[in-house]
Structure formats: structure tokens, C-alpha cells
Structure 1
Amino acid sequence: MTGVEHPVIRTPDQRIRVFVSSTLRELAEERDAARSAIERLRLAPVMFELGARPHPPRDLYRSYLAQSDVFIGIYGASYGWIAPDEDVSGLEDEYNLAPAGMPKLIYVKDADTRDPRLQDLIARIQADDTAAYLHFHTAHDLEDQIAGDLAMLLAERFDQSRRTEPATAAEISLAARVPEPYTETIGREGELAEIRALLAGGMHRVVSLIGPGGIGKSRLAIEAAHANVGLFPDGVYFVPLEGVLEPGLLLPTIAYILGVRDTGAATLEERIAQAIGDRHVLIVLDNFEQIVDEAPVLVRLYTLAPRACFLVTSRVVLRIRGERVFDVESLATPSPDAPPTLAQAQSSSACVLFAERAASALPGFRLTAENAADVIGICQRLDGLPLAIELAAAKIRLLTPHDVAERLGRSLPLLSTSVRDLPERHRTMRSTIDWSVSLLSAEQRAMLEDLGVFAARFSLDAVESVGEGRSWGSQAIETLAALIDASLVQRVESGGRSVFSLLAIVREYAIETLEARDAADAMRIAHADYYLALVHRIAPRLRGSQQIDAVAELGLEVPNLRATARHLVQQGRLDDAGDFAWTLFVYWWISGYFADVRLWMMELLEKRMPITTRTRAIATFFRLWAELWQRPSDQVGEGLAEAVRLFRESEDEHAAAMALAARASTRLQFPDLDEEAFLAEIGEAIRALHAFGDAWGESLCEVVLGQLGMLRRDVPAALEHLGRAVSIADDADDAFTRVVAGNNRARLRFVLGETDAAEEEFLLTLLLSVRLHFVDGATYGLEGMSAIAASHGEAWRAGALAAVAAMIRETTGIYDIEGFAVHLAPLEALRAVDAESVGAGERAGREMGLAEAIAIALPEAGADVRERVPSW
């Protein structure tokens, strides 16, 4: 079986001999592993164990090599001893003396440092078409790799022995050319199964794994290549294109890996196709984006070689005939709505990856209940991007998860690595992005930087708006498409429309680059102007029949709404910031963003810049809103009275009426209620709101009067006002006020023993809350359904729904009037009968998210609700 001979079948007494070359003392454990692997296959190890001698034993190991069939080289950090009067060490001399055609399996141990002369030898080996070059970590890993590779080699040679014609160079190439992953691949089982299905179907000639730098395309391709060797009996070949920058080098690089050399007898393209012939092979082309203009070459190759299949990794779609695009996604992170528990972290591939890599940096590290929340936060902050997670996990050697989480606000300078074996562009996320950006045109780079002012997602309309006057503005669609092809911008479907996004770290890079050019402020203003206009277009639909759609539309823009407020305040456009906040008052309430607005308004006031009276009224009102419900006091009441005065001074009577209703609601929280003052203020507010045709505000004021009746145990009055509130909401077809009024009326009906009517109303309000994504309303509805379940003796369900609602209240600070929680008494009564089931439900509920709880409360909900709940 010597490489210079035509392969034959050996008889049992003609055992194949495997020569093992390595330094002796440094790699003693690895040599033992190699011996075990060779003997496991009933082959004969040939190992030169004499050690260093005063004179080089060249004749001896030349003789050993002449008797051997396969050469195995194992290299670590040392180049080895150089004998007197010799220019090279015995290690290099053994490689030089191996017959040219002898199959060579080369295994390089991972090392932080390596002798420069050994590095040169390894580089030369990489250029040898008869050598398969692989990395390994431990002696145990090495033993398995050698055994597997020798078995593969024997199988190939057995197949060749049945042929009548000599084997070509391409046919003797080893599938083991596919590199081994340095670390375990996590969270890609589903993708690997999908890729296998694409490769096995035979319909796709080019399967392109597309995604941004750092998302794990190369790792996934390597795993897919190893996992699908069985689908390609004639070979799997890995072609690294990382350093191939000139398009003309694509074919020579592929030819080199296949063992084809350019002799001039035919074009290289034809020679490659001839070497492949009708063999069923998989060729993996890694990092194709930098020579994407050469993609049509692949069409010509697979046309000439009909059973060849290409698996390509690229940041850019190839856009060729026969291509099947497979988008590589980030790793799954726990939902922001789910409690950050250990169970959530353990079920998240992103968190598991972090833990695995952290354990490599700090042996003994593991996910625990104490660090789970911080690890979840880190992975969410990094968008599940594998490379970013791995780089962050490497910091665990120096920092705790809590420290890493806190410092991720400065993620770009933090995420760097000193691992020398990584490609240069992967040493930090910055170098990864720099490498991608360097491939763009000037206009594409400018757009990427400008998009940094956007938050998580943005629309094409928004992009076109901010692009007015920019270098890329007249070709916004084409330029954006190029960035999508380059995987620097992602396109997704959301709410039935296309929206675009940047990964968080790409966005940080973009805005930092923009600021370095002193261009960020102008883009922030353009961004703010677009969203100000958008808000004024949508706001009229926030009350009435179009409310659900308007809320959904704004929900797609929440990150940009926040960014707009921040941009306006930072740029000193304080009156615009105040108007922006007030225009969206209804939306802030439905979606629970008053805490954000309060911070913006406090920052606005702290600017101590000239503002209009109306802006001061708005800022005063929002600053006190949360206090009104959670910590009512005389000071809150006085502050709201000042807001009323300021609104009136600015001649905004409508806003003054809303502020007056808020002041009356504050009075309702006091144990020593001044009922006369309360009724005067709420009555004045109702009259004004009715005059303005504001059914939304009027209905809410009637709810407040209904709550007064409940506090006074005046059931008829409470039912009258709550019924009126429901009627006003129904007439206006306003979902929000229908939820608020309905939840209050359902509570009262439950207390009165009208269980069926209460259940019907709670179900309605819960459905409307789901459609609105109204967390407060859903929480009240869950508590109501908990009360209903308790009254029916459904202990587990009652306990679970109550626990979820309690957790939501605790984490979000949802206000409720003391004594209005109607589910507590029936739940305790049921606990006395079936404490075990109630407790089990409560334990389960504390691990649930809102979506899971709603699904339990609404088991027979329609398809539209089932579609909304999982994404909530």
C-alpha cells in the first residue's frame, strides 16, 4: 500500500505499517495514543524510539519509512533537536524523507506558542497535496481521530483496489481534510437537520449558509460536513477562502484542495470538473463573500460535474442559479417576558454556550441560580451572537457574570481576546465588523453608519426619510439590499410588513463610527423628525375603533420611539420632546411605558433651558403619574393641580381636563377622602371631556366614579357608573377603556355571586388585552380567571394564574386599589381544602411567563389569539 505503488489488498500476514513521527518527551502521551489507535485497527505501528544521538540516525529511519505505508506526523510546540552538522531536526528530516506519494496524516496540537521553525514546517505541510492536516486538543481526542482517519483511508484504498485504472490525485484526497471544531458546537441541532435535508434531497446544487460575521457559519458548515460524510461516499472537501482576496484565485484554491494541479493541458475549470467526474462529492467553500463576483464559476463547475454539491458560507447571498439560501440565526435566548431563572438559562442554547466557554476559561464555572439572571442578560444583550458570547465568556477568568453584564454597555472595548490561534478578524468583534465593512462601497458604508441612529428595528420608509440629502439617499433600496446581502442588516417579517435591523454590536460600531466623523447629531435629528411626523399621523387612531391596529403599529416602533425622545432631549429640542410625549399618552398607558416617559421628562426639566408653559405642564404631569397610583400624597395632588394650571395658562383645556381627572383620582387613594372635592373635580373633568368628544377620557372617569361606589359599598351606584363606562367604551369601540371598565365590573359581579356573568366579562377583557398587548388589563383578567377557577374548585389552575399575576405585579408595579383583588379570598378558601394542588399551581406559575398563563386561562381561544400569545 506504499504511496508510490498501485493499491492492493493485503493478506493477514502483511499488516499495514504506520510510521509515527513526533518529538519524544514532549509528546510521549500522544505517541501512546497513536500506538493504541493503530493497534486497535490491527495495524503495525513503526515508532523510532531511540531518542537523540550524537549523530543523526537518518539511515535507520529512512529504512523504517521505506517499509511503511502511511506517515503520521504529530506536532506540538517544539521543533526538536538539531544534530551536529545538520540543518534540520529529525522531525523535519523524517517528513522530508517520506516517499512523495505516501499518504500523510498530520496532527497539530493546539498551543499558545510554537517554535518558529516548526511553524514554517507546518506551513509547508499545508501546501502538500498528499497530507491531511488537522488540529487536536488532548491525547484522547488524538487517538479517536487517528483511528477514524486510518479507517477512512483503508476504506478508500479498498475501493481503489477494485478498479482497473490508476487512481487520480483527487480520488486519494482524504475526507479528513475537513477541520475538526476546536470546541463543542452548541444549539445547532435543528439547523444541522435542516441542512442535511437540503443536501440529501439532491435538488440544491449550492446551499449557502448566510449570516453576519461571528454568527457561526463556518462552525456550522464544518459540523454539517462531518455529519453528512455518509451522504457523499466519494468525498467531502473543505476549501478555506479566508485569505483568498483575488477572484482569480478561487479555481486554483479549489483545485489545490482536490489535488488537481494546473499542467496547462486544459483549463483549470475543466480539469477540476474532470477530476470530480460523476463522483458524488461535497465541496465546502468557507468565507466566499470576498470573492462573490466569482459565484458563476460554481454554476459552470456543477454543470460539468453533475453530482457535485457545494456548501458555501458567506455574508453575502451568491445570487446564482441553483442556490438555496439558508439563513444562519443567532442562538436562542430566553424571552424577556419569562422570569430569568436557572431553568430558563439551562434551556437556552445561548446561555449553555456561555457556560461552556466560561468553564474553559475558568474550570469549575457552571450555571447556577445565583448567576442565571446575569448570564441571561449577557446573552440577550449580545443578541445570541455566538462569537460575541464566546468572547464575553472568556472574560469570566477575570470578571464575574455580574461584572460582565454591567460592562456590556461598553461591549466593543471589552470584547477582545488574546487567543492567538483565532484569525485576526475574530480577535474582537470590532475586527469582525471592520472586516465586513471593508468589503462595502463608500455609499454602503455611509448607509450602515447612518443606520446606527435607529434602534432595534426600522422600516424602509424610515430609511428613505433619513436618507434625504445623504450620498446613498437616491439609491436607498439598492444600498439597503446590498447591506442585507452582506448580512450587516437583517430583514424580517413583523406585523405583516418588512422591517430591518442591525445586531446590537453592529449598531454600536455604526454609531461610534458616525460620531467619530461628527455626523451623528445630524442623523439623530433626521431620525427624530421622521418619528415625530409618524406619531402625529398615528395618534388620532389611538382612541376608538382603530386603536388595536394603531397600538400594534406603534409597537413595532417602540425602540425607535424611545430613541426619538432621547434624541430630542439630547439635542435640546425640549418643546418637541414634550409634545411627542403628550401625543402618545394613550399608547404609553396601554403599553406600560410611563417609567420611560418620566425619565425623559425629568431629564428635560434638568436641562434648565427655556421651554414653553405647555411643555412644563407636560413634564410636571408625567413626572407625577406613577406617584399618583403607587404613592399618592398631598404633594402629588398639589403637583397635578400645578399641571392643571399650567395647561390652562397655555390654553390647552383638553389636557387640563385630563390632568384634573388625574388629580381627582389621587384623592380617591386617600383614606380620609374629601368626597366633595373629589366629586367636584371629577365632575368638571367629565363635562369638559364630553364637550371635547373624548369618549376615552370620559369612560375612564366613569370607572373612577364606579370605584368610589365600590369603596363606599354603594353597589347600585358602582354598577351604574361602571355600566356607563362600558357603554361609552362600546359606543366608541375602544378596546382599552372596555378592558378597564369591564374588569372592574366583572370584579363587582363576582363579589355579588354572578359568577357566569363575571367569567364571560373576564374572558372578553382578557381577549381584548391580548389583542392590545395590554399587560395591566391581562393581569386583572388573569386574577379574575383565578377567582373563577377557585370558585369551580380548579385548585392547580387557580394557584398558577394567581402566582403569574402576582409576579407580574411585583415586577411591573401594576397598581390596584387595596381590597379590590377578588381572587385572594376564594383562593385561600380552596387552599384550606386542597393545599397541595394550590401550592403546586403556584410553584408552576412562578416559572411561567405571561404568554403561558394566558394560554391556560384561554384554552379555547381562537386562532388569532393563539398566534398573538406566543410572540407576547
Structure 2
Amino acid sequence: IVLDNFEQIVDEAPVLVRLYTLAPRACFLVTSRVVLRIRGERVFDVESLATPSPDAPATLAQAQSSSACVLFAERAASALPGFRLTAENAADVIGICQRLDGLPLAIELAAAKIRLLTPHDVAERLGRSLPLLSTSVRDLPERHRTMRSTIDWSVSLLSAEQRAMLEDLGVFAARFSLDAVESVGEGRSWGSQAIETLAALIDASLVQRVESGGRSVFSLLAIVREYALETLEARDAADAMRIAHADYYLALVHRIAPRLRGSQQIDAVAELGLEVPNLRATARHLVQQGRLDDAGDFAWTLFVYWWISGYFADVRLWMMELLEKRMPITTRTRAIATFFRLWAELWQRPSDQVGEGLAEAVRLFRESEDEHAAAMALAARASTRLQFPDLDEAAFLAEIGEAIRTLHAFGDAWGESLCEVVLGQLGMLRRDVPAALEHLGRAVSIADDADDAFTRVVAGNNRARLRFVLGETDAAEEEFLLTLLLSVRLHFVDGATYGLEGMSAIAASHGEAWRAGALAAVAAMIRETTGIYDIEGFAVHLAPLEALRAVDAESVEAGERAGREMGLAEAIAIALPEAGADVRERVPSW
């Protein structure tokens, strides 16, 4: 017996119990937006359609293997005969399906717009998706003709407290924890019944629960979040919720930050990794609400995390917006904003202006009596000097030496190890191999003593590159494998990129042309995406790869073509073929 849309009469669910008690051989297939919660019920959640991983390149092959993209293409062809997935529109179709969380009805409604708009136009207009997602098809129920009507239908089944919670949850970005919900719920109508109310929203299929990192986390579909936030803003309650949201995550990062250096680093990074969208939202909320000193403190507290996870470009935008506010801020906040504004340019577009700006950050930190931060900025200033051919070695040594002394006095092994890496890089540039090995060995020792995975990866990758150049291939391979494994555990994309380049060099030295080409191509695509490039002359895989190309160009080029279609997870599997399943499973969640 099939019963469709049972949410309309969910209070009559006990009747089903009486029916199958009378007819025990009968089977009831019930569709409902709400869990029935009766004896004998077995719940099967209808999952969203699969979309390509954000980790993978947005190619035609990825789109053709995605059920969400295939559905889009089928429905688009119904609206515009002749439409098909192509190399030109694949990236836009993938972006549309990812933005819509693979939700079939939303994808169908978006695809219907292809009669008027190109996939690129649809993708651009999905910034606010609800107005776009409608159709005039007459044979659909009214509640299915627009996504807003569909959500309205679901929300109409909720109690007042459940509707209030759903709207309040709109301030969260992507996933959130029960602790976060309970924190922002203080003083709200649903606050004393947070668990029960959240459970009701899960039963109503408006909130999703998933396991991540060994704990329960919750999320709203992007469309539901947009609906909730619009409703919250319409009743002028959004700012209060944003303040509550920001206060919770400010407290959270201050609790976690001390563990970002040393033996608890991997766990701390994983914990913050679950909250990345909310960390971004917190920064925006603080800036928008004019809490600029809190925004600066928030950014600096997570300095280590931004570096590990590659989010300096995001932080730079927040800090530029902070400075554009033209509001009073402390000297320390100005120092922080100045530093982060320049950090990405240090690696992407080093210039005299970057160096001068970092010197200003040092001065401002000292003026605010934060000598520890001043030492970090001074080390960055010295690192900038390495990017120029006309290196002022005396100035460099003076700055890096002062930074090391200060960091050592503060007991900051993390910063001290990184400074030793910079001295090792100077040795490599000056072709002073003994000095380079001495400093890199010291950096490794400091990292090992502190049990700090990040600095061990940075120091190890640099030492492995030097060992490879010296012809110590076995030692280099062993260290590259170690740093790659640590990078996977740490979710450190830049560290993994160096590891992939190192393993490309090793593969090339062994004559493994396809493998060397594939790993080099993946690494190049990652660097293009992140915008962080290696110091000129340090990329050790390029020369052996070109030497191998001269011998077996066809295999190298085949590997490069394959590599350009790969995501990071596939590349790690090629670089670490003997790694356990637990290592390979970590990568897709980055």
C-alpha cells in the first residue's frame, strides 16, 4: 500500500499501526517530509544527487559522471532541444548543481531557465537562488512550481518554535554543532528546548544530520538557509543572531587556538576544519557590525590555522574591508590588518612595497607592545627579501636573527623552526650546502621536539628537496613520503603540493614517466588555484621531468593530461600507493 505526501495527515500515523496489526503481511510504502515516529517504521532518507567533488577539476568527464549534472542536462534539453553537456559549459553546470546541493527539484527548476539563459548566466544568478527557481509548468502541483512554495509548504507544517529555530539557524554557514545551536539559542523562544526542536526540524527534512570527525554536525541545504535568512531579516532579527553567532565562534577559537602549535595541532586543525564556513561568517559579521578590534583579534588568533589551510587570501579581503570602514581601531588591530593585507602578496607578488608594508606592521606591533607578533612580522619581512635577486644579505641576517632571538625567548618553537627554514633557504640560494643542511636539520629537530606536524612538513620538504639535488634520492624519497603523510593528516594543501612535486621528481629519477607527469600536472593546477608559487629555482621536479620528456615524451604528456583531470585525492593515491585506506579517506573531506 503506497501512501504519498503523508506529512499532510501525520497525526493519523497511529492508524497505520492498527492497519498492519490487522494485516501483518501488508507492506506500507509511505513518502513524507516528516518522520512518522511509530512502531515498525523504517526510515529511508532520500539523498540529494551526487555532484562532483570541489577537489576535482570542473571538467566534462566530471559532469558526465555526476547524476546531478546528468539530470540538469536532461531537463535543460527538454526546455531547449539540442542542449547537451560540453567542455565549454561543464564548469558552469557543475557549479549550478553544487550550489543547489544536488537537490533534484531545484536542479529541474534551474534547468528550465536554459530556454532563456545560458548555463553561465544561470550560475551567475544563483547568488540569490530562490527568485530564479520557478517554473510555469502546469502539470506540477502549485507547491512544486517554485522552490519558495516548496519550502513554504514544509514550513507550514512546523510549530511556532520550530519555525523560529529554522529562521535563526539561517545565520550559520554550512555545518554547525549542537553546542553552537544551544549557545545562540540563549534567550530565544526555543532555547530551553533546543535538542527537541532541532530533532523536529531533522524529522521534517529541513535540517540534515551527518557524522563528521566522530561527532554529529548539522546543516541546512543552501536554499533552505537562504529562505531562513530572508525571513529572519524581514523581521529585523538577523543582526542579533549574527552577534550571538560571532560571540560563540570568538570564544571557540580562543579555546582551540593554544592547541594549534605542538602535539595537539592535527586534532585542533580538524576541529576548526569542521567550522570553516562559520569562521568566515564570523569574520564578516564582526566587520559588518563594526566590531573591528574583535575582528582583528579573531584573525590573528587563527594565524596558524589560516596558514595551514591556505585561507590568507580570504583574511586579506576581511582586513581590507576592516580598514575601509574608516572607524577608530587600536594600533594592534591596524598592525594585524596591515600584516594580513600584505601576507598573500609576499608569496604571489613580492615587491618593495610589500617589504615596506611589513616593516610598518613591525613598527605598529611594537608600538602596541606586542613583541611576539612583531617578531613574526619581522621574520616575514626577512622572508620577503629572499624573493629578490639583489638580496641585502646583511639586512636579511639582522632581521631573521632578531626574530629568532625574540621567538626563542617567548618559547615559540613553531616560529623559531620556520625561521631556521628561511636560513636554510638562504643557504640553498647561496649554494652553501653545509649551512643549508645545518639550518634545515635544526628546523627539523625543533619541529620534532615540539611534535609539531606543520613545521615538520615545511622543514622536511625543504630538506628533502636539497637531498634530492645532492643525489641522495632514497633519503629524499623517505622524507617526501613522511611530509606527504603528515600533510594529509593535517589537511595542509601547500605541504601536500610540495610533497607531490617531490614525488614527481623521485618518479622522474626512476624513469616513471606517466607517474612523474601526472603528479607534476596536479601540483601545477593546485598552485594555479591557490596562487602560491614556489621560490624561483627551488622547484626540483622540473629539471628531471624535462630530462625524462626528452626520452619518453609520449608517456610524460599522457601523465600530464591525466593529471589535469585529477583531484587531490587521486594524486595522493598515486603518490602513496601503499598508504592505508584511512589515509586515502581523509583527502576527499578537505
Q: Report the TM-score range of the alignment, normalised by the length of the smaller protein.
A: over 0.9
| C-alpha distance after superposition, 1:661-685 (max 9, x if no partner) | 0001111111100000000000000
| C-alpha distance after superposition, 1:84-127 (max 9, x if no partner) | xxxxxxxxxxxxxxxxxxxxxxxxxxxxxxxxxxxxxxxxxxxx
Is the 8 Å Cα contact of residues 55 and 588 (structure 2) preserved in structure 1? no
Say whether 1:452 aligns with 2:170.
Answer: yes
Paired with 2:531 and 2:356, the residues of 1 have a C-alpha distance of 23
Paired with 1:406 and 1:442, the residues of 2 have a C-alpha distance of 35
Partner of 2:226: 508
Paired with 2:585 and 2:558, the residues of 1 have a C-alpha distance of 28
Percent of aligned positions that are identical = 99
Is the 8 Å Cα contact of residues 57 and 566 (structure 2) preserved in structure 1? yes
Is the 8 Å Cα contact of residues 128 and 226 (structure 2) preserved in structure 1? no
Deviation at 1:508?
0.3
Paired with 1:863 and 1:482, the residues of 2 have a C-alpha distance of 36
Is the 8 Å Cα contact of residues 292 and 318 (structure 1) preserved in structure 2? yes
1:499 counterpart SS class: strand
1:324 counterpart SS class: coil
Is the 8 Å Cα contact of residues 699 and 737 (structure 1) preserved in structure 2? yes
Partner of 2:550: 832
| C-alpha distance after superposition, 1:718-743 (max 9, x if no partner) | 00000000000000000000000000
| C-alpha distance after superposition, 1:35-83 (max 9, x if no partner) | xxxxxxxxxxxxxxxxxxxxxxxxxxxxxxxxxxxxxxxxxxxxxxxxx
Deviation at 1:866?
2.6
Paired with 1:619 and 1:820, the residues of 2 have a C-alpha distance of 30
Paired with 1:598 and 1:588, the residues of 2 have a C-alpha distance of 11
Is the 8 Å Cα contact of residues 855 and 869 (structure 1) preserved in structure 2? no
Indicate which of 578, 581, 587 corresponds to 1:860: 578
Deviation at 1:302?
1.2
Deviation at 1:622?
0.3
1:498 counterpart SS class: strand
2:28 counterpart SS class: strand
1:491 counterpart SS class: strand
Is the 8 Å Cα contact of residues 457 and 499 (structure 1) preserved in structure 2? yes
Deviation at 1:811?
1.4
Deviation at 1:405?
0.4
Partner of 1:655: 373
| C-alpha distance after superposition, 1:388-440 (max 9, x if no partner) | 01000111111111000000012111111111221111111111111111111
1:492 counterpart SS class: strand
Paired with 1:528 and 1:362, the residues of 2 have a C-alpha distance of 45
Deviation at 1:290?
2.2
Paired with 2:588 and 2:312, the residues of 1 have a C-alpha distance of 25
Deviation at 1:821?
0.7
Paired with 1:453 and 1:628, the residues of 2 have a C-alpha distance of 34
Deviation at 1:634?
1.0
Paired with 2:115 and 2:328, the residues of 1 have a C-alpha distance of 50
Is the 8 Å Cα contact of residues 454 and 560 (structure 1) preserved in structure 2? yes
Is the 8 Å Cα contact of residues 20 and 26 (structure 2) preserved in structure 1? yes
| C-alpha distance after superposition, 1:228-260 (max 9, x if no partner) | xxxxxxxxxxxxxxxxxxxxxxxxxxxxxxxxx
2:218 counterpart SS class: strand
Paired with 1:540 and 1:866, the residues of 2 have a C-alpha distance of 29
| C-alpha distance after superposition, 1:767-787 (max 9, x if no partner) | 000001101000000010011
Paired with 1:352 and 1:863, the residues of 2 have a C-alpha distance of 30
Paired with 2:289 and 2:313, the residues of 1 have a C-alpha distance of 21
Paired with 2:312 and 2:43, the residues of 1 have a C-alpha distance of 43
| C-alpha distance after superposition, 1:168-207 (max 9, x if no partner) | xxxxxxxxxxxxxxxxxxxxxxxxxxxxxxxxxxxxxxxx
| C-alpha distance after superposition, 1:678-732 (max 9, x if no partner) | 0000000000000001110000000000000000000000000000000000000
Is the 8 Å Cα contact of residues 444 and 456 (structure 2) preserved in structure 1? yes
Partner of 2:83: 365
Give the structure-2-normalised TM-score.
0.99
Deviation at 1:867?
2.5
Deviation at 1:322?
1.4
Is the 8 Å Cα contact of residues 464 and 476 (structure 2) preserved in structure 1? yes
Paired with 2:573 and 2:34, the residues of 1 have a C-alpha distance of 40
Partner of 1:746: 464
Paired with 2:374 and 2:24, the residues of 1 have a C-alpha distance of 77
Report the number of matched residues.
590
Is the 8 Å Cα contact of residues 355 and 367 (structure 1) preserved in structure 2? yes
| C-alpha distance after superposition, 1:516-564 (max 9, x if no partner) | 0000000000000000000000000000000000000000000000000
Deviation at 1:630?
1.5
Paired with 1:425 and 1:870, the residues of 2 have a C-alpha distance of 36
Deviation at 1:864?
2.6
1:326 counterpart SS class: coil
Deviation at 1:629?
1.3
Paired with 2:546 and 2:195, the residues of 1 have a C-alpha distance of 61
Is the 8 Å Cα contact of residues 372 and 410 (structure 2) preserved in structure 1? yes
| C-alpha distance after superposition, 1:433-471 (max 9, x if no partner) | 111111111000000000000000000000000000000
Structure 1: segments with no counterpart, 5+ residues: 1-282
Paired with 2:451 and 2:11, the residues of 1 have a C-alpha distance of 56
Deviation at 1:484?
0.5
Paired with 2:544 and 2:16, the residues of 1 have a C-alpha distance of 70
Deviation at 1:836?
1.5
Is the 8 Å Cα contact of residues 569 and 604 (structure 1) preserved in structure 2? yes
Q: Relative to structure 2, which stretch is displaced further, 673-682 or 791-800? A: 791-800
Paired with 1:599 and 1:475, the residues of 2 have a C-alpha distance of 38
Deviation at 1:794?
1.0
Say whether 1:721 aligns with 2:429.
Answer: no
- Bigger RCO of structures 1 and 2 (CA < 8 A, at least 6 apart): 2
Paired with 2:520 and 2:359, the residues of 1 have a C-alpha distance of 37
Is the 8 Å Cα contact of residues 581 and 597 (structure 1) preserved in structure 2? yes
Paired with 1:819 and 1:673, the residues of 2 have a C-alpha distance of 15
Structure exhibiting the larger radius of gyration computed from Cα positions: 1
Partner of 1:185: none
Paired with 2:30 and 2:256, the residues of 1 have a C-alpha distance of 44
Paired with 2:208 and 2:588, the residues of 1 have a C-alpha distance of 22
Paired with 1:737 and 1:865, the residues of 2 have a C-alpha distance of 20
| C-alpha distance after superposition, 1:627-646 (max 9, x if no partner) | 11111111111111110111
Paired with 1:410 and 1:553, the residues of 2 have a C-alpha distance of 30
Indicate which of 454, 458, 478 corresponds to 1:760: 478
Is the 8 Å Cα contact of residues 257 and 301 (structure 2) preserved in structure 1? yes
Paired with 1:457 and 1:481, the residues of 2 have a C-alpha distance of 16
Partner of 2:397: 679
Indicate which of 175, 179, 182 corresponds to 1:461: 179
Paired with 2:351 and 2:446, the residues of 1 have a C-alpha distance of 31
Deviation at 1:300?
1.2
Deviation at 1:870?
3.8
Paired with 2:31 and 2:417, the residues of 1 have a C-alpha distance of 58
Paired with 2:208 and 2:496, the residues of 1 have a C-alpha distance of 32
Deviation at 1:815?
2.4
Partner of 2:430: 712
2:216 counterpart SS class: strand
Paired with 1:379 and 1:302, the residues of 2 have a C-alpha distance of 40
Give the structure-1-normalised TM-score.
0.67
Deviation at 1:862?
2.6
Is the 8 Å Cα contact of residues 572 and 584 (structure 2) preserved in structure 1? no
Paired with 1:796 and 1:342, the residues of 2 have a C-alpha distance of 22
Is the 8 Å Cα contact of residues 749 and 755 (structure 1) preserved in structure 2? yes
Paired with 1:856 and 1:670, the residues of 2 have a C-alpha distance of 35
Indicate which of 23, 29, 37 corresponds to 1:311: 29
Is the 8 Å Cα contact of residues 804 and 853 (structure 1) preserved in structure 2? yes
| Higher percent of residues as strand | 1
Deviation at 1:807?
1.0
1:651 counterpart SS class: coil
Indicate which of 360, 366, 373 corresponds to 1:642: 360
Indicate which of 540, 551, 575 corresponds to 2:269: 551
Deviation at 1:306?
2.1
| C-alpha distance after superposition, 1:781-804 (max 9, x if no partner) | 001001111111111111111111
Say whether 1:497 aligns with 2:215.
Answer: yes
Partner of 1:589: 307
Deviation at 1:511?
0.4
Paired with 2:64 and 2:444, the residues of 1 have a C-alpha distance of 45
Partner of 2:329: 611
Is the 8 Å Cα contact of residues 423 and 436 (structure 2) preserved in structure 1? yes
Deviation at 1:824?
1.0
Is the 8 Å Cα contact of residues 632 and 666 (structure 1) preserved in structure 2? yes
1:518 counterpart SS class: coil
| C-alpha distance after superposition, 1:792-847 (max 9, x if no partner) | 11111111111111111111112211111111111111112211111111111111
Deviation at 1:323?
1.2
| Higher percent of residues as helix | 2
Paired with 2:168 and 2:330, the residues of 1 have a C-alpha distance of 32
2:326 counterpart SS class: coil
Is the 8 Å Cα contact of residues 569 and 584 (structure 2) preserved in structure 1? no
Paired with 2:44 and 2:128, the residues of 1 have a C-alpha distance of 32
